[in-house]
Amino acid sequence: MCRETVREFSNRNMEVTGKILLALIFALYGICQVQYVSSTNVTYDHRAVVINGQRRVLVSGSIHYPRSTPDMWPDLIQKAKEGGVDVIETYVFWNIHEPQQNKSNFKGRFDLVKFIKTIQRAGLYAHLRIGPYACAEWNYGGFPVWLHFIPGIKFRTDNEPFKMEMERFTRKIVEMMKQENLFAPQGGPIILAQIENEYGNIDEPYGEAGKRYIKWAASMAVSLKTGVPWVMCKQADAPPIVIDTWNGFYGDQFTPEFPTSPKIWTENWSGWFLAYGDPVPSRPAEDLAFAVARWYQRGGTFQNYYMYHGGTNFGRTSGGPFIATSYDYDAPIDEYGLPNQPKWGHLKELHSAIKLCEGALINSEPQFVSLGPKQEGHVYSDGPNICAAFLANMDSQNDTTVKFNGVSYHLPAWSVSILPDCKNVVFNTAQVSSQTTSVQMQLASSKLVHSSSKERSYLEMEEKEWSWLPEPIGVWGKGAFSKHGLVEQINTVGDSSDYLWYTTIIDVDDDEAFLKDRTQPVLHVESRGDDLRVFINGKYKGGKSGNNSLPNITLDQPISLKSGRNRIQLLSVTVGLQNYGSFFDLRGAGITGPVKLMGFKHGEKDLSSQTWIYQIGLKGEKYRFYNGKTTAKARWATGAHMPKKQPMIWYKTSFDAPEGNDPVALDMSSMGKGVAWVNGQSIGRYWPTKLAPNTGCDETCDYRGNYGPDKCLRNCGKPSQTLYHVPRSWIRPTGNILVLFEEEGGDPHQISFKTRTVKNLCAQVSQTHLPPVDSWKSSLKTRAEGIKPKPELQLKCPSSGQVVSSIKFASFGTPEGKCGSFTHGACKTNSAIPIIHQACVGRASCSVEVSEEKFGDPCMGITKTLAVEAICS
């Protein structure tokens, strides 16, 4: 109706001048648009989420809004959409929204409404996991630390003060979404909501009170009347008013508790998280695709990649302890927002194949077909015209051939073939045809410059280009207080800082033997974590840190003491608060003792219960040195004597934006441990001296067989993370300020900016490869005529505005090697380069049929492959 009115209106007013007419038409369209926002009805049955009366097969992907910037959101969501994702899943992170009690923050990266509206604008659905416990490798699992100080509170159990706060925050988020009409029945994108998170994994020690809590949480959520279903993940005893869902690397064996619930996988871990001190995890695309295909094969209709884009733990948001600043997760979109190939492309193909089966999946139940001891098929059929099949080979070693409907099908080990018409295989999870990209971190052509010497390249930076400021050792200001005995850190600091100073005085008699002979007394310190540094009389003596699996520290540090008064100054540092486990909130941190001195004439001295002076946080935090301003409290020094390799120094410099639009990272390899700020925004904790162990990485990564976080590890013996993402939107063209607080000692002169650049694309497709899934769309319908598409090699430049500028290598025949080092084999045509050149150069994407008709036949009877390496610019 509205559309007609607009048309009529424009016809009748032809004579009205252009601008006015256009303005009116737009206004009318605007009104119509609002009126057109249709209410979406969301329910579910035992097979699927039902949207407007129609069962849906949905692919979902997690993108956590505070782990990227609002500038990045539209592109990330668009890339998810292009990759075949229908739903974006995010947690809501309580502690960023209410950092202090009775204070709210929904601005910038924390603008949840804007994020959900960005999803809506892209035409996707949203799954809002309110929690409000999130886990997510996020500081304190998402809980604000002030919650811990509410008298009588006990987290995640039948406890009135906790339930009151949990309900208040959940209601606040629901109301906020309702006010903006963001739930599906209001015309918004939110089709599902989650309450709690994986409580079933850790509920045992909470006993009966835990059981009561879960029932309460479900009823509380449902009472908020969002109009969309609520889920609880990993909660086998969830009450029937919510859907219990699955999280894990594989989910095909899962069946929901109630026969009336659909099979929903809220977290399919697309890789794994990185912790400082650990190698870098990766999960092969073939295995991830296998897990997904098995899910839909065995009755699943909703699956979510945790993560689809992992992003970055900016500021102090990472949990753990020891979760790294990068939360890349080996997700289909990398930390910087670029497609992680071939994973992104391979999954896109998989999603297209699954969507070709949607009609069969929603109209029927899976019928099991035995294909062998480690092989199984499932058929979805509703009458003669609708039939889809999945054929799986779960054997992790051997390829095999199975018979299905009288036809032989070759099934590689650990793979699933998808047949949307029960005849033609359009996709096999182990066959990757998607392009790969060689991603380089290139030295940026920008300058880290002091404002007075713009000409100098950052490579030849001289000392005067940095300013510095020492952070005081031990007690530095008014807030210091003294107490008998040692204190627990989280209770003392309330997470207002990573840092807590413990200082005590020890008097040494003149006749102590260690003052004369060459022995040294030993300081013994026991800490609950996470990182510990020892200073004696203001001098750094050493330190030790725990790790993600064992944060506790026992340190025996030889020290030098003088006769008379000595100050023992211990800096205890947290590296993200615990986010998982029963009673995780009570784990605690810091030096809880004992602290002893050994090697004295009377044996050991226990310092644990003597008087200690405490100072919370750094002076530079209190007086905001990270803004880089010169104030009465922050007198930055410059000149030739910049301290290097010394602990507890603030550094600052200025820089111009790296040229181009590629994503930017700081290479911090020359530094120790600390925090970096760009224009006052914390890019997170850096820690390149925390190395992964030497062993545990696989030279080759075999996708076959069960994946776990210990498989396919990379980077053994190297720093867990050296590159730190600096979002483009935080950088101005000129005059940016970089500030570092270095805890351990480093050389800022070696810091550089890098840009993440994808120049080379490679693809390798053989004549026996399957054609692209989309090319089947028409031929499946006309299959009676027996038209079969041919395999194609497809290339697409990753960034918008890029085109293929040249072809570095192309060969049709028996090419050898891999991307970056392809060589011609014994069999090759001369036509490959000109054909590929013509098809691709000057274009953002291209596709070329891999056939003898196209390239000629250089070696009859041999299966030929087309390998191409192209450059985008």
Q: In 3D, which of 654, 669, 804, 816 has the Cα closest to residue 746?
A: 669
- What residue spans of 330-464 are helical by DSSP H? 343-356, 358-363
Q: Give CA separation, 64 vs 68, 127, 312, in Å.
A: 7, 11, 10
Cα maximum dimension of the chain: 107
Q: Which residue lies nearest ligand GAL, judged by its C-beta?
A: 135
Contact indicator for 60, 101 with CB cutoff of 8 Å: no
User: Closer CB to ligand GAL, residue 267 or residue 792?
Assistant: 267
Q: In 3D, which of 865, 794, 778, 770 has the Cα closest to residue 427?
A: 770
536, burial (CB in 10 Å: exposed 0-12, middle 13-18, buried 19+): buried
The CA-based angle 703-706-710, given to 5 degrees, is: 85
User: Closer CB to ligand GAL, residue 273 or residue 703?
Assistant: 273
Active-site residue among 198, 257, 463, 526? 198
Supply the DSSP string of 631-675, one letter for each residue: -SS---B-STT---S-SSEEEEEEEPPPSSSS-EEEE-TT--SEE
Distance CA 270, CA 236 (A): 23
Contact indicator for 690, 719 with CB cutoff of 8 Å: yes
Residues that bind ligand GAL (CB under 6 A): 135-137, 197-198, 247, 267, 273
Q: Which token pair is 284?
A: 């092969």
Q: Which token pair is 396?
A: 């992790």
The one-letter code for the residue type at 769 is H
User: Closer CB to ligand GAL, residue 213 or residue 776?
Assistant: 213
Contact indicator for 340, 96 with CB cutoff of 8 Å: no
Q: In 3D, which of 146, 99, 101 has the Cα closest to residue 494?
A: 146
Q: Which token pair is 776?
A: 């089947």
The sheet with strand 531-536 has its strands ordered as 481-484, 611-616, 499-508, 564-573, 531-536, 539-545
Distance CA 4, CA 680 (A): 53
Name residues whose C-beta falls within 8 Å of residue 260's C-beta, 6 or more positions apart in sequence: 45, 46, 240
Contact indicator for 548, 578 with CB cutoff of 8 Å: no
Q: Which token pair is 331?
A: 């997700």
Q: In 3D, which of 185, 40, 63, 76 has the Cα closest to residue 112?
A: 63
Q: Is 744 a catalytic residue?
A: no
User: Closer CB to ligand GAL, residue 275 or residue 441?
Assistant: 275
Distance CA 426, CA 350 (A): 9
Q: Which residue has the tokens 């570095």?
A: 808
Distance CA 629, CA 637 (A): 12
How many other C-beta atoms lie within 10 A of the C-beta of residue 519? Answer: 12
Q: Which token pair is 562?
A: 């003088």
Distance CA 827, CA 439 (A): 30
3-state secondary structure of 49: strand
Distance CA 417, CA 409 (A): 9
Return the bridge partners of 742, or none: 649, 674
Q: Is 98 a catalytic residue?
A: no
Return the bridge partners of 375, or none: 372, 393
Q: Which residue has the tokens 């400021």?
A: 469
Q: In 3D, which of 649, 643, 651, 637 has the Cα closest to residue 743?
A: 649
Distance CA 304, CA 179 (A): 27
Active-site residue among 196, 267, 358, 792? 267
Name residues whose C-beta falls within 8 Å of residue 107's C-beta, 6 or more positions apart in sequence: none
Contact indicator for 304, 88 with CB cutoff of 8 Å: no
Q: Which token pair is 51?
A: 């949207």
3-state secondary structure of 414: coil
Distance CA 362, CA 784 (A): 24
How many other C-beta atoms lie within 10 A of the C-beta of residue 579? Answer: 23
Q: Which residues are marked as active site?
A: 198, 267
